Structure 1
Amino acid sequence: MATLTTTQSSLLMLALILLSLTTSSLVLADCRKLGLQYKLARPGCRPVTLDSVGCRGTCSGYTRISPNNYLEVERSCTCCQEMGFLERTQRLQCPTLNPPFRDVTYRIPRRCSCRPCRSVASVSRVQTLEDLRLG
């Protein structure tokens, strides 16, 4: 039986690690629009339930040893995010105001896709879709 040198053993181990990373990245992305409902309310107006959409899903990411320098680690991640927006307007009935209505403009994602993750450091509070969903 042939014995492996330390170098051969290290290369074999690295190949197995890279193979497992490649295999695990075969998970398909599942990023899509998800129907949501919001309660839209303004002072002096009757609240309405607004049908809308958000992006939700699973995207790929990985961490691996750099093929160029075995002491470095490479990272990549993608997140389910919007790809452009559409603007919609909802008219609220406001019987105590003059005029007795208010138009509220809001945005919805045009489509959703796995894209490089971006920082949310500038956002004061991160909301999940569960935070926004009614009922």
Structure 2
Amino acid sequence: MNGIGIDVSKRQLDVGTTDGEILQVRNTAAGFAELEAWLKEHPADQIVLEATGGYEQRVLDFLHKAGRPVVRANALRARRLAQGMGHVAKTDRLDAYALAKMAVLVKLPAYQPLEPWQQRMREFVRARRQAMQALTVARQQ
């Protein structure tokens, strides 16, 4: 059983396997195409991405549409597992490897994209939250 972990940042994806292989691609459509070609040579039972404040959304949707078994993991849970394995340092490559280990050790619920109306509602809620925070800051000034 092989697991794949993807550490997502704004600009790049660090992909790691339990075998120790590493791939680094840009967090763009061209990078996703390169990732898909690489994944054809590296089958996995589960691909785990860490929730990173929205930067992971595009690659999650891409992998889901490609029919890949992709999962969004809780960042704190992933970090605790890495610490439990003795990974005290926090680098993108180590995080990708730890997420790959998580893919093998923990069966997580598969990612299901939101319905369009749910996505719009999430955007409205996010905009309202930002407006409320701005209002609070203005009142405090």
TM-score scaled by length of structure 2: 0.19
- Larger RCO: 1 or 2 (CA < 8 Å, sep 6+): 2
Q: Identify the structure with the greater helix proportion.
A: 2
- Of structures 1 and 2, the larger Rg is shown by 1
